[in-house]
Structure 1
């Protein structure tokens, strides 16, 4: 059985000599894993570029009957070419970070039209954004949390939960980052919830700390989320 759907590339792994295994968040089927044959061949060139993180695709995909697992793509093409994301080092670092976050927290193999629309529209807005993009990752993660079921309405709501979790870990003898300063960030999170592009966050060091707090907040709500390895790469760019 074949199905037509739009998709957002999350990641891929090399498979055999010329193929890949791609994870794609699809509009009609949620997260799917596809074997894509021949995209790493020298000719025709450039097809592997269609599977870079956050690429927006139009797909014709095979649907497995009765079980989940690897399926294949019958057809694929770029749905909306980017203007800046592949060519701007800062933006491509943000994309690498956010695609890793999405890959850890979005796992359902079912349709979610609202989430797909948010992801699709946010990616296009980021591609077209000329100013204020340094705060995009923070604003994106705050909005994404609402679609995942653990959104907040204020910065203090977020930091309170992280502080309580830190106290509980300390009581069990688990050491972790200090939580005493977290309420200093409440105002920044409030700004990001309202208008991330005009936030008064002063520098990359503070953005790095805010992202760390957000990741810790996500880890409280997403089972086995693990560490986000690309955060350090993004932090170097932010600084």
Structure 2
């Protein structure tokens, strides 16, 4: 059976000589895995570019009752990016966030609100010319809402992370560490309530906040593991210190 749907590419791996296996979050079927034949051939050129992280596609896909890997009958770009592929800062953010989404959004069923959030957020990020330094933080805070563990205050995040980091039988960080978490509370509160007015001073603090958020995700999602692309993003954020 064939089905038409929009999709957002999360990642792919090489398969045989010229093909790939791509993981795509679709509007109608949730997370799907597809074999895509021939996209790594020299001719026609450029088709593999359609499977870079967060690329948006119109798909005609085969479906199977038992689920599992299927194939694409047709695919084409549905929304062309104007800045993400050409801006290293944005590309690093997209690589990082697509890995997080790929490890946290696993349901093979329709979730229109989540799809719309991903779609609209990515397009807005591509169109932003400035003031997008905090996009990854805001995205992660909002994604947590759709995943069922969103926070209403910064203290909800930092208290859980602090407790998980405390020594057995302890009461959490004290002294300078406690002061640091209170600073994070303030920044997270700003990002939750009015992201456009957030006063995060530099890339070092953004890095620390992202590390806290990833730890928060790890507490709520079993076997999330380490996010490999975080190191790449950290290097980019370091340049804005």
The range that moved more, 154-163 or 2-11, is 154-163
* Other-structure match for 1:197: 196
Deviation readout 1:219-238 (Å, 9 max, x if unpaired): 01111000011111101111
Moved segments of 4+, more than 4 Å: none
* Other-structure match for 1:171: 168
Deviation readout 1:174-215 (Å, 9 max, x if unpaired): xxxx96332221111011112323321111110000000000
Deviation readout 1:34-89 (Å, 9 max, x if unpaired): 00000000000000000000000000000012x12110000000001001010010
Does the residue aligned with 1:171 lie in a helix, a strand or coil? coil
Q: Is the 8 A contact 1:21 1:33 kept in 2?
A: yes
Does the residue aligned with 1:192 lie in a helix, a strand or coil? helix
Q: Does 1:221 align with 2:220?
A: yes
* Other-structure match for 1:162: 161
TM-superposed CA distance for 1:99, in Å, is 0.5
TM-score, length of structure 2 as denominator length: 0.93
Does the residue aligned with 2:83 lie in a helix, a strand or coil? coil
* Other-structure match for 1:140: 139
Deviation readout 1:3-52 (Å, 9 max, x if unpaired): 00000000000000000000000001110000000000000000000000
* Other-structure match for 1:25: 25
Where does the alignment leave 5 or more consecutive residues of structure 1 unmatched?
A: none
Does the residue aligned with 1:161 lie in a helix, a strand or coil? helix
Q: In angstroms, what is the RMSD of aligned CA positions? A: 1.4
TM-score, length of structure 1 as denominator length: 0.94
Distance 1:179 1:110 in 2: 42
Distance 1:197 1:238 in 2: 18
* Other-structure match for 1:152: 151
Distance 1:231 1:134 in 2: 15
Distance 1:4 1:172 in 2: 55
- Count of aligned residue pairs for this structure pair: 232
TM-superposed CA distance for 1:111, in Å, is 0.5
Does the residue aligned with 2:86 lie in a helix, a strand or coil? coil
TM-superposed CA distance for 1:94, in Å, is 0.1
* Other-structure match for 1:207: 206
* Other-structure match for 2:53: 53
TM-superposed CA distance for 1:172, in Å, is 7.9
* Other-structure match for 1:42: 42
Where does the alignment leave 5 or more consecutive residues of structure 2 unmatched?
A: 171-175
* Other-structure match for 1:15: 15
